Structure 1
Amino acid sequence: MATRIVLGWREWVALPELGVARLRAKVDSGARSSALHVDSQWTFYERGAPWVGFRLSPGHGAGIVETAAPVFDEREVTDSGGHVTRRVFVHTTLMLAGVEREIEINLSDRRGMLFPLLLGRTALARVFTVDPARSFLHGRHPLGFAAVPLESWQ
């Protein structure tokens, strides 16, 4: 088994398929799924398949990103306060610590939270481990930084 990459409890990530070059993420191995803050979202159909359009503000002068993705799933999620909400899930590419991998993210209202992205344990599985005493171990990479596809990382 390959050595896992150590992450801090917060890291900079990129979501290139969604047009997000830099985004602060809270790395939370206690959360099962990953949640992305969106300012607004709407559903539509493309060639008979459900899609979701959404707007988000990555922060730090990045402006507003408006994008769309196919809906992967829709299911109930229980937040840390015990509140259950129905959320839309999409698949997208995560670029973090020189690794590129496909993850699923639910779209959520995280207004008031310090981090627009909560990176849960399913996104971390088999590749990353977390050192909760450290943060921002992998720098602030721009979109297009050299990431290695997961299948070649073994």
Structure 2
Amino acid sequence: MGMATAKHVMKRILMMLAGYLVAILVGLVAVVAIYAALSSLPNAPAYFDVMGVTPIAALVVPPLGMFIYFLTIVVTALQTLIFALIAEFFSLRNVLMHMVFGAAAAAGGFFLIWPSSAEDMDPERWADIGIIAAAGLVAGLIYWLIAGREAGFRRPLSQL
């Protein structure tokens, strides 16, 4: 029974890692989509146009895209690991909780990149935080779809 438990824990760890890496990628796509959608609104600030077009450079220059992907992993890894471990230890499977965790992890990563953004009263910074958090909601949903629906290091009794 010990080996079966170890296999289950390893499976959960791999699912957490896969869920995280895919969620990061989808979250980055969500950021682009949100900026693009906002830039199409009437009277949208020109700033949204710039932010909506900038990610195209990441697609045209793959090393830049990989840098953005890995930078996002670096700035969100710790808080995401904490949230994922909490979900696994307590077998928390609620989709909304995972989405809120994703938004909090994304916003936390933004504050790591831009530490003065909390004091910066510039409306563009607040819009950025909201957009990043919204993308984190999407990433949290994707994580839940891949790894969160079956969260729990302890196996269900039916599998023992």
Q: TM-score category by the smaller chain?
A: under 0.3
Q: TM-score, normalised by structure 2?
A: 0.23
The structure with the largest alpha-carbon Rg is: 2
Kindly indicate which of the two structures has a greater share of residues assigned to helix. Answer: 2
Q: TM-score, normalised by structure 1?
A: 0.24
Kindly indicate which of the two structures has a greater share of residues assigned to strand. Answer: 1
